[in-house]
Every structure is written in C-alpha cells, then in structure tokens.
Structure 1
Amino acid sequence: MRKRQLSVLVAAVVAAGGGIVVWQRDDTPVRSRPPATTVATVAVERTDLSTARTMPGTLGYGAPKAIKAPEGTVTWLPAVGATVKRGRPLYRNDDHPVVVLYGSTPLFRKLDTAGLNGRDVRVVVDNLRALGYRTGDQPVHKPRPGDAVYTAGTIQAVRKWQQEAGLAVTGTIDPADVVVLPGPARVGQITAQLGDPAAEGVLTLTGSAKAVTVPVATAELDTIRAGTAVQVELPGGRTTPGTVTRIDRDAREPEQGADEGAAAEVDVTVTIKDAKAVRKLDSAPVQVSFQGESRDDVLAVPVAALLALSEGGHAVQIAGGALVAVETGMFAKGLVEVSGDGLDEGTLVVTAS
C-alpha cells in the first residue's frame, strides 16, 4: 500500500457518531521539541468481529392497545384472556354492545347518508359481507381505489346486522358502535369497572398469538427489518427461531432511571415460529439474538485509534512512530477491522482513549 504524505489533517474518531478532536501536522522541520507527553496506546488484535446483537425482550402477546370511548358508561366487560373476533361484542357502553370489525381504517364519522364513500365505508362493506350479509353491488366507478360507497343495499344490510347484533335498527353506524381491529385479539387487561366512564379507558387488547416485544434504541434499528430472522432464548436456555413482524413507528423517551443520554426506543415485535415451544408460558423474560454480518480472524483496533486523513481515507499512528494508512472493514462493538503496511497482531498504536 502506498504511504501517504504526512502533510495531512488528522482526526481522532472518539466513537462512531461521537466527537472529533482535530490537530494539524506537517513536514516543516521542528527546531524545538515540546516536553514529552504520555499518550494512550493499544495493541492491534487478531479477532472475530460480528454485528450480531442480543437484546432483552418480553414474551407475551405483543404491545397492548388501549380501548376507550368518547362518552358513555361501561355496563359489561369480557374476561381477561378472552379472544375477541369479528361481529362479537367487545364490551357494552350504556348497555349497547360495541362490536368488533376487522380492518385498517377506524370509523371516523357517522355513516348516515346514502352516497357517502371512503375507506371507512369499505371496512363496513367488507365486514358485512364476511358476516354473511348481502350488501348489493358497488358502483363500477368509485372516487378512489380502495373506497366503497354507502349504497341503499349497504344500508339494508346494516339494518339486518343491527337487529341481530342488538343495536338500534337505524341503518346508521356511529363510530362509538364499533371497534376496528386488524384481526382477532386477546383481552390483556381490564382497566375499568362496571359503572365507570368509558372515556377514561375500558380495557387493553393484544394480539391473539404469543409474541416477543423487544425495546430497541432508534440508533440500533439500522439492520433490523420486518422479516429479519432471529433466535429467541427462553428461560432455561432453550432457543427457538422467530421472525421480526412489526417495528413500531412511534418512539418513546427512555424510562425514568435510564442512563443519561440514553436514546429513544421503539418496540420491535418478534413472532415465535414454533408455538409449541412457548405453550406453557404466558409471559417470561427472554433474550433475542438478531443476526448480522461477521468477519473471522481479522486485525482490529478500537474505533478511537482511527484517524481521518485530510485527503480522504484513514490511518493509525504507530506508537512512537509514523502514520500508517489503513483500509477499514467492519465496525462492530467499538472495534474496526483494519489492514495496512506494517500492521500486525501486537503492534502498538496510539488511541484517543
């Protein structure tokens, strides 16, 4: 490797994403030397590097979703652990059933006029059809793909559904009449008592299948994607495979008592592939190993020993000697893979810490 000129700007990278200390060095003859100072050194090591990470998680039924109503009084509640499905009442508000529908768009307005269209109407139409009600044909030309129209046939189907569900038969659906969920759910916790205001919270729901929730710092999400394969270590040391199925989009601040400077976190949901592996556990602390890249038998130094050259690239400084330009490879757990002329296992290099 060609040695670089020593007329360079050298920067010690204290840590990935951390601060940088900069100084100027040139080849002008030095007439007087400053008093000698002690510098920290570290030996180049030969090791295996890996970006795989293991993080603590909790086995349960996934992150809970709180359910509440704009107004009303709670008059009936399900049991904790009950599975709620499409068309079934979730709870009763002012003694009227609040019915479960499946979909991705919550009802956000009262559907009370023929000709209304939107994704919320599509949720109603799809659920009525799934429950066996005839809604009639939809117009061929709809305002947007994915929308549906609140037709006379839909209104007639709503009336029949309301009669059988114990709702007032009006042909009108109010957002307070239903709860839209992505699929079957499990009652995780009851947060209200009979007679409590429904606006203060009624219950929480989780997924119906067991899953692992892993709090992950936002800065560590770079290699975690939906579909990523993981290994879950259960209490007792047994491992079972899993898959990342959800990464929350809403970050939260670190909990009280966390280290100063701790990053915001999001919940990553991991689904267990073999349900039998956790059939005897409803909740438990687990360890989740996320796969990553690896390099075997490479030379590595702490990231703090890496210097940035003004003309580009990186170098390390031999203890008591010159700069050596290096090629960098994998960064992992505070170390960086390096190769360069004169570098070998045990070579002492200057480090910033």
Structure 2
Amino acid sequence: MTHKFLKEVCQEVSKYPRPVNSLGSTYTKDLVKEFAIKNNLPLSIEEHRSKTTPTHFFLKAKKLVKLNILNEFKEHVEGKIFIVEIEKLKYINTLQDYIPILLIKDIVDIELYKDKINDIKPKAVIFSLTTIDTNFYQRVFNFNMPVFSIGYKDLEYIEELTYITLEPIKEEQIEIENISFDIGRGPIVYVITSISSKDDSYGSIYSASSIALTLGIAQSFCKHYNSDFKFRFFFTEEDSYNFESIQKHISKNLKHVYYAISVFNMGWTNKSCFYEDAHGDNSLYMSEKFYKYAKSINQNIFFLKTKTMSFLHAPFKNKDVKTLMLGSYPCIVSNTKYDNIESVRFEELCSWFEILSGFLRRFHAL
C-alpha cells in the first residue's frame, strides 16, 4: 500500500514544474497541507520575504545563449574566453585573465578539479556537460569565482567569441513558504525536503520523489508510531544560495532540536550518505549508523564526502544540530528538462523508503 502511495504522490507532484510562487509550487503546497489536515497533524505555515537572484541570464552571441548561475554572482566580471577539456587544466598554471569554458563528462568531474580551478584563478568558470545536452542547475560551493553552466549544443553559438562581459542580475524580494507538521513527542528530528524545481523541469527525481518519500514516512508513522522522538516533516520552497528562509525559521524554532536530515534525488540510483559536504562535517556517528543500517538490510549505498555540494540541512550546522545528508549522487539529469516522471526509478524510491523509515523507527536505539 505504501509503495502505491509513493508512486501516486510522485506522479501528482510531477504534473507541473515548481519554481517559487508558481502554479506547480502552490499545487504541491496544497497537497502537503491537505495531507496534514486529513491526518489531524499540527500544521505550521510560515511566509518569509527572501532575497533571490534569478538563476539564469542570457549571453549575447550568434543567438541568445542561456547561462545558469550555480553559486554567488555579485560582481561584474570580464575576460578572454576559450574552450578546454577539463583534464587539460593540469597543464595550465594560471588563467587570471580568462573565463574558460570547461567541457566535462559528469558533475563529479568539476568537484575533482575544484582545487586546481581555485589555484589557477580564472575570473569565472562556465562548464558544459558533454554526455547530455541540458541546462544544469545544481548549486556548487567553495569555488572562489562565479560558476555557470551552459548547454552543450549552445557551444557552437559562442565559439567565435574571444572576450565576454558578465553583469550580475539585480536581487529581487520574493515570498518563500515553509510548511511543517509534527508527529510524536520528545526531542525533535527534522526531515527536510524541497518543494521546488526549475521552471523548465518537473523535478520528479530531484524533489517530487523526496516529497513522496517524506509523506510516505509520515503516513506510516500516523498508522504506527512508537518512538522517543518528535519527527518534524519540513517542506520548503527555498532555492537560494544562502538558505535565507530556513535560517529565519530555525532562528525561532530551535528549541529541543537535536537532529536534521535532508533528502534529495530519492528517485534515482547511486544511493549515498554524505558524512561531509561543502559546509563541513555532518554527524559522523549518525552517518555511520545510517550506512551500517542500510547495509544490514542488504541495500547498496555509498559513504562519501563532497566539497562542492550541500543541501537544506546546512543552516542547522551553525546551531550545533547534528545533521545527516542523504541523496542519490551523482544524478546528471536531476532538475533538468529530462527530470520527469518517466525518469523516476520507483524501485529506488521504494528502497529509500524501506531504509529511512526503518532507520527512523529505530532512532531511539542510537
């Protein structure tokens, strides 16, 4: 029954793209609220005004080419441009006058070369995936310069350019909505997921599957709850680089919070538990416990660290809350135009449900 519920919710959420304050986002928020009301759960709804910068702009070339902003971009940059395979960077000592376009095979590649890129000091970096032609949106951290992505087919339109100037886009004020409900009593454990997707993606793998997983676990706890912890299921539209609305939330809601778990890409292979991310260590103790539990029930999972990626649990770290970051990684199609309901691996979503719901039910034994 639960597996059917997971699929139905994922399909329902995947009907529309879900950028902040969109029809799809509103539709999904209403779905979450209706779930809480139907199950008589105490519902909390917060609205925060948050600064945001559009996540893309257009570069003037043979045709207008879309550049996606993957980290902070606050200052004008300009420089010479050339296209280079990322493996060739090891032969380059400096790029201080340049904005290179890096050709990479996988999103993991740019992480492998992060230190080298920072050492050779380009003005900015634009990268393009060579194995799939799509606009790529995953946030990256710990680069000392702005990082952008570009679709592979768009390279032909900018090959004749030798010099480019990039101007930041003006920040906007938007309303961000956070929704949460609690099950149980005791010290609080957050389970955090994103509602959002990009405007050209259905985000079925990225966030629809995570929403389905979170509601599926909540539904199972409504039917049978036996724990010394209170579980707070937290859904947010937050999509900014600095997690502003989440920081505002935890500034008023931190009492008795002991753990924060974030989930993403629940509808894909490569299940991963991150003991470290771009914002530092996650709880090694809890990460090891989760990894060992997954292995004990014969589930394949990676135990790894990343220096360039993070997620919605990050603001809790500064408040001494123990964190756990779970996701399927790498997932090259996540939050792209190819991220739709047909791409979801439902057997993986069900597998994630068995692992995380079982782990949370045994949380008191940690």
TM-score, normalised to structure 2's length?
A: 0.24
Structure of greater Rg:
1
Q: In proportion to residue count, which structure has more strand?
A: 1
TM-score, normalised to structure 1's length?
A: 0.25
Relative contact order higher in (CA < 8 Å, ≥ 6 apart): 1
